[in-house]
Structure 1
Amino acid sequence: MVAVIHHSNRIDKMLNYNEHKVGEGIAKCLEAAHYPKDLAGLNFYQKMAGLDKLRSLSTRKINSVHISLNFDPSEKLSAEKLKAIAADYMEKIGFKDQPYLLYEHYDSGHPHVHIVTTNIRADGSAIELHNIGSVQSEIARKAIEIAFGLVKAQDSERQEKQRVKPVNVQQALYGKTETKRAISGVLNYVLSAYKFASLPELNAVLKCYNIVADRGDKESRMYRNNGLVYSMLDKQGNKVGVPIKASDFHIQPTLKFLSKKYAANEAARLSKKTHIKNTVDLALLKSISIDKLIESLKKDGIDAILRKSLDGIIYGITYVDHKEKVVFNGSDLGKNYSAKAIQERCALPLLKQPNLLELKLDLATILLDTQEPSEALPFELKQQKKKKRKRLQQ
């Protein structure tokens, strides 16, 4: 099981996102836990009111929480089991007795549920959210995997199965709703899983999934207003379909949102530098061209993405490590991993290993040679040999 937690002050967007999925027939509301009425008797406004009542008791800006619990594709979980898992998880992360809405979604290749709730208690106090994902949620996840017999998140085979696939552009080119749904699935995965520290680094990952985050031209109004849209890319890397504003997605991956992630990711990814550097160094031992280097790195789960000028000159390189889920601009790893250094290192000829048979023949020739030393013999060695002969004659 994998748990992903988002929090904000826009519970209306969280609720709208899930209810919209229900309206499209690709989700179902399974439960309204700790509500005064049963789920069947609640309409949209009553669902919202149940959470707004608590949110109004506090002036805190962060008062809404959206959680997704993701399971292995092989797991077939009944509605009752999903409700039991959600209840256990909420209690273990400190949300016992908090009202929440539980939705099962059917729009992905693996079973998953979404939970909409608030971190404001009935007495107006707030449940602390700092490190909740890395501490309480991790403890809860591991306990629940054992208690319910779920596939463990550490299972590498499961991680590979659940890895989000690149957007199928042809299937998504039927209007804004389909485009938004396709991009949203990738964003939810990439923004929570990968550690990047700039927009170009984020785009290095997104382009692996046929998506790009675009600020527009520097002279454009969108750029001046710090706007951001997400678009799909075709096989040639051209933007296609309807661009979607960052603020239209339920997690709102705007520039402001991303800038906060940059700062947090910068420190979190430092320990992963060595893995990429070592992999590049090893690949260069057997690579004699940039193309072969890229091919070798890809086999080890690293995409080396080249940045080129209009006339084809390579001026930058970004490494996307899909195993460690980190992204680094080449120069951030050190001088030896920048685009310029990599081109120079690829241009160096590999040392030719001596042929063992030729080596034996050369050695035999030297040993059997009875002639006087050749003129190629160093002058100093010739002199030493002559001196020895004179001493013997005396």
Structure 2
Amino acid sequence: MVAKIKTGKSLNGALNYNENKVKQGKATLIETSGYFKDAGDLSFNDKLFRLADLAAMNQRAKTNTVHISLNFPNGEVLRDDTLRDIVKDYMLGIGFQTQPYLVYRHEDAGHPHVHIVTTNIKRDGERINLHYLGQNESEKARKGIEIKFNLTRADEQPKQKPDLKADVSAVEYGKAETKRTVTNILGYVLRAYKFTSFPELNAVLEQYNIRADRGSKDSRMYAREGLVYWILDKQGDKIGIPIKASSIYDKPTLKKLEEKFGLNAQLRKPFKENLIKILDEVLAKPQTKRGFQSALRAKGIPSILRQNDAGRIYGVTFIDQKNKTVFNGSDLGKAYSANQLSAQLLPDPLTKTAGQYQKTPDQGTFGLTSTAGDEMLDVLFAVEREDLAALNKFKKRKRKGLNL
């Protein structure tokens, strides 16, 4: 069993994530604890306000949402009543047994898993300490549950070899077992492509809806040179749970990747001049940014232009699909650097929609632009496009009743 704990400040977002899965037929509410109605009689507001009422007891707390997923290996058959017992033991083990919570069984991935939504604010307004919760209490609870329920132990699961005959195409979360799919794609990409940096590797992986992630620069994972792999949804947001590099066959850790960077720098050299020749042909006539990318795509060279809010290009990467090589513009020469291309390429034309002009819409990840600092928020806590009027109205009534 693998437990993943996410914390945040949007109860509405966490609840909406699970309720939307229910609407799509991909999840089922199998248990509630600390609610005053049966699960089948609870409305969305009933579910939300029970947690929001407790969260409101501590207005100073920046974190009031806890969203947990318990994940089991593919092939482990667990009935709902067994999952309820596992969740009960787990919540007791991490000190949340008296908190209200909702348990959803999800069927949107290739492995069995449940999501738990709760709050860390207690009735008296005190906060349950979340510091090292995953490393300490959660790990102890996990190990005890694996023994009690005779589950496959997380640290004893065999590493799956990549299937060299598997069809390698963009991942669609939930259609196949996550770890198996990521293993197959990584095996292919690391064998076939010649990249020389972490961003260049991600430029390739994101073609397949996968991203390698070191964590934020101030995180413990980054400091310890850790690495995980995420599956991305159609919007490029991380979805599901990450897979540790060390748990994948052949361990594609940061250290191993860095060893490949130097070797690949030599292996890609013979293909540099041909790529420059193609770029010169495309740049021989005036090009808009989008036209430049389209012309390259037609020649089998997806390109990524990273732009700031003002539209200035601050980074560019080219992927030669024929020769499986990846180059940053500056590695090809000054003429192909971000600064030079930003000065040379014309802005994209505006389109007129509903009486107003706007930029031409994006059409995908590759061959398109991205905005500076556009880091993907964790999907579990992405604030849904949900009208919050009901919640705000509830809080206003509560404050008015307290004469605040």
Aligned equivalent of 2:327: 307
- Confirm or deny: 8 A CA contact 2:32 2:39 kept in the other structure: yes
Deviation at 1:262, TM superposition (A): 2.4
The one-letter amino acid of 2:14's match is M
- Confirm or deny: 8 A CA contact 1:22 1:28 kept in the other structure: yes
- Confirm or deny: 8 A CA contact 2:200 2:327 kept in the other structure: no
The one-letter amino acid of 1:112's match is H
Aligned equivalent of 1:210: 207
SS at match of 1:65: strand
* CA distance, structure 2, for counterparts of residue 81 and residue 206 of structure 1: 42
Deviation at 1:26, TM superposition (A): 0.6
Deviation at 1:313, TM superposition (A): 6.8
Deviation at 1:141, TM superposition (A): 1.0
Question: 1:15/1:270 Cα in 2 relative to 1: closer, same or farther (>3 Å)?
Answer: closer
* CA distance, structure 2, for counterparts of residue 57 and residue 203 of structure 1: 47
* CA distance, structure 1, for counterparts of residue 89 and residue 130 of structure 2: 18
* CA distance, structure 2, for counterparts of residue 205 and residue 64 of structure 1: 31
Map of 1:262-301 to 2, 5 A cutoff? Answer: 262-264=217-219, 265-269=221-225, 290=267
Question: 1:9/1:274 Cα in 2 relative to 1: closer, same or farther (>3 Å)?
Answer: closer
Greater share of residues in helix = 1
Aligned equivalent of 1:384: none
Aligned equivalent of 1:20: 20
Aligned equivalent of 2:90: 89
TM-score by structure 1 length? 0.50
Question: 1:27/1:208 Cα in 2 relative to 1: closer, same or farther (>3 Å)?
Answer: same
Question: 1:7/1:210 Cα in 2 relative to 1: closer, same or farther (>3 Å)?
Answer: same
- Confirm or deny: 8 A CA contact 1:204 1:305 kept in the other structure: no
* CA distance, structure 2, for counterparts of residue 153 and residue 4 of structure 1: 12
Question: 1:52/1:167 Cα in 2 relative to 1: closer, same or farther (>3 Å)?
Answer: farther
Q: Among the aligned pairs, what percent are the same residue? A: 36
Q: Deviations over 1:211-235 (max 9, x none)?
A: 6xxxxxxxxxxxxxxxxxxxx59xx
Aligned equivalent of 1:78: 79
- Confirm or deny: 8 A CA contact 1:8 1:63 kept in the other structure: yes
SS at match of 1:5: strand
SS at match of 2:127: coil
The one-letter amino acid of 2:128's match is I
The one-letter amino acid of 1:122's match is R
* CA distance, structure 2, for counterparts of residue 305 and residue 6 of structure 1: 37
Question: 1:52/1:133 Cα in 2 relative to 1: closer, same or farther (>3 Å)?
Answer: same
* CA distance, structure 2, for counterparts of residue 167 and residue 25 of structure 1: 28
Deviation at 1:274, TM superposition (A): 5.8
Map of 1:26-175 to 2, 5 A cutoff? Answer: 26-59=26-59, 60-157=61-158, 168-169=169-170
Q: Deviations over 1:103-150 (max 9, x none)?
A: 011010000000000001111100011111111111111111111111
Q: Which runs of 5+ in 1 are unaligned?
A: 173-177, 190-199, 212-231, 234-257, 293-303, 316-394
Question: 1:206/1:100 Cα in 2 relative to 1: closer, same or farther (>3 Å)?
Answer: farther
Question: 1:168/1:10 Cα in 2 relative to 1: closer, same or farther (>3 Å)?
Answer: farther
* Residues matched between the structures, number: 233
TM-score by structure 2 length? 0.49
Question: 1:31/1:270 Cα in 2 relative to 1: closer, same or farther (>3 Å)?
Answer: closer
> 4+ residue stretches of structure 1 with deviation over 3 A?
158-161, 165-169, 200-207, 270-277, 304-308, 310-315
Deviation at 1:34, TM superposition (A): 1.7
- Confirm or deny: 8 A CA contact 1:166 1:210 kept in the other structure: no
Larger RCO: 1 or 2 (CA < 8 Å, sep 6+): 2
- Greater Cα radius of gyration, structure 1 or 2: 1
The one-letter amino acid of 1:19's match is E
Question: 1:45/1:273 Cα in 2 relative to 1: closer, same or farther (>3 Å)?
Answer: closer
Question: 1:202/1:40 Cα in 2 relative to 1: closer, same or farther (>3 Å)?
Answer: farther
* CA distance, structure 1, for counterparts of residue 205 and residue 148 of structure 2: 36
- Confirm or deny: 8 A CA contact 2:5 2:67 kept in the other structure: yes
- Confirm or deny: 8 A CA contact 1:68 1:112 kept in the other structure: yes
Q: Which runs of 5+ in 2 are unaligned?
A: 183-196, 228-252, 270-323, 337-404
- Confirm or deny: 8 A CA contact 2:2 2:142 kept in the other structure: yes
The one-letter amino acid of 1:61's match is K
Question: 1:40/1:159 Cα in 2 relative to 1: closer, same or farther (>3 Å)?
Answer: farther
The one-letter amino acid of 1:43's match is S
Question: 1:270/1:133 Cα in 2 relative to 1: closer, same or farther (>3 Å)?
Answer: closer
* 2:258 is aligned with 1:261: no
Aligned equivalent of 1:6: 6
Deviation at 1:261, TM superposition (A): 2.6
- Confirm or deny: 8 A CA contact 2:99 2:119 kept in the other structure: yes
- Confirm or deny: 8 A CA contact 1:167 1:209 kept in the other structure: no
